[in-house]
Structure 1
Amino acid sequence: MEEPVIPKNLFGEAVIQPFPDLTDGEIDTTLFLQSSRGVVRIVEAFGQPFMPVQRDISQNIKTLQEIFNQNPRDNITIDKMISRERSLNEHSAGQALLWLMRGLQYFHRFLTLVVNDFREGYPTEDLIGFARQAYDETLFYHHSWLARQLFQVLCRFCPTRSVLTLKLVIDRDQHTYADHHRQLMLDIDRYLISLGATIDHINGFCLG
């Protein structure tokens, strides 16, 4: 992608933070949970119909935060939290992390499809197809028949590209929608790098 037109991060890293880099090969729990809360803010931009998804992600974050608070020193990284839980033959953190990661994988795939479509030069306004494709490639394999049907209905309420852009851009100024949209795609593209690296690490070590 070319250099951005607007020299600022419209995605708002103060609100939606990139996922943290590894520290000594592990993921800092506090930073990971902060970044995960940013995904909740992304889901909020999808509107009221996606409240069940928002609640599900928030509940898994809450569970992990509560486990961390019980023993911050031993749970300082996600890796240590899961290793400690396995040694105690417990499953709460593992289950919460598993479902949180499945949600993160869905939004990573959805946003990747949106950005890739932008790269093609003729960005699609209707994002319903991307919402369904991302679901079929991620959450579909983990849901019951009923959940699959409900999510297909939910996808019909996916906001359009322009609506999603206006909801995610936090600092609108005199620039045009096209400029804002282009900058947002660049910001999300960078964001997806950190999210993808986090997903790969957790799936490989913590959930492997």
Structure 2
Amino acid sequence: MAAIPSGATWFDTLKRSFANVPIDAANDNGVSTTEFLEAAESLTTLFDLLGSAAFSPVKSDLTGNIKKVRDRQLAAPGESETLQALVLNELKTKKHVASEGLLWLVRGLDFTAQSLRHNIDNASKELSDSFRDAYGRTLKPHHSFIIKPIFSAAMSATPYRNTFYEKLGNDSERVKAALEREVKALEEVVQILKAFQERKEAKW
């Protein structure tokens, strides 16, 4: 993990922020595939920051789904400039490996966004409460009885709120502003993709 320069925040060390993922509002809110995958990969390192091996399955779940989407992008780059185009073009081939990968990736990102949003909006809550609350509303309904205990263990392994925020940088106001910016951008992308995935042509 990259060292945080003095006066900066952890978010400044990321290769790509969700705030810098192009969205083509004039073209069905098309989300640019390359930048989205870079931002998603960058955000998975948040689970390293949480400092517990219990989060390894959460991170590997996200990275595995990122790989499925990227593999399709590499196989058909001309048909995959936006995530929406990637899904629709893959489904035409009667396959849905990347489309399903993106579905799970969006669920994982929704979980991350809701966890962080809950913690931002509830200053007295510990991280474990925020993560548990978000897990119940996002991933848990889709997980099997085998997977649920693995993820539940991770929710209980989160560091104390103060410890986590200190890891994000030593200037609390800058950390707060950077966290709000990233979460807001992530929420926007997640909402666009969830709405798209609800559409008939995006299902298999």
Given the two structures, how large is their TM-score scaled by the length of structure 2? Answer: 0.84
- Mapped pair 1:97 → 2:102: yes
Match of 2:35 in 1: 31
1:86-140 residue CA offsets vs partner (Å, 9 max, x unmatched): 222211111100110110010000000111123xxxx44x321111111111111
- Mapped pair 1:138 → 2:138: yes
Structure 1 distance, partners of 2:10, 2:59, is 22
Deviates more, 1:132-141 or 1:9-18: 9-18
Match of 2:59 in 1: 54
* Contact 2:50/2:159, CA 8 A, preserved across alignment: yes
Query: How many residues were matched structurally?
Result: 189
* Contact 1:61/1:96, CA 8 A, preserved across alignment: yes
Q: Which has the higher contact order (CA 8 A, sep 6+)?
A: 1
* Contact 2:68/2:101, CA 8 A, preserved across alignment: yes
CA positional deviation for 1:67: 0.9
Among all aligned residue pairs of Structure 1 and Structure 2, give the percentage whose two residues are the same amino acid: 23
| 5+ residue gaps, structure 2 | 1-5, 200-204
| 5+ residue gaps, structure 1 | 1-5, 170-176
Structure 2 distance, partners of 1:60, 1:10, is 24
Structure 2 distance, partners of 1:144, 1:58, is 19
Given the two structures, how large is their TM-score scaled by the length of structure 1? Answer: 0.83
Match of 1:150 in 2: 150
Match of 2:46 among 42, 48, 53: 42
1:121-163 residue CA offsets vs partner (Å, 9 max, x unmatched): xx44x32111111111111110112322232222111111122
Match of 1:191 in 2: 182
Q: What amino acid is aligned across from residue 143 of structure 1 in structure 2?
A: H
* Contact 1:11/1:187, CA 8 A, preserved across alignment: yes
Question: Residue 12 of structure 1 aligns to a residue in which SS?
Answer: helix
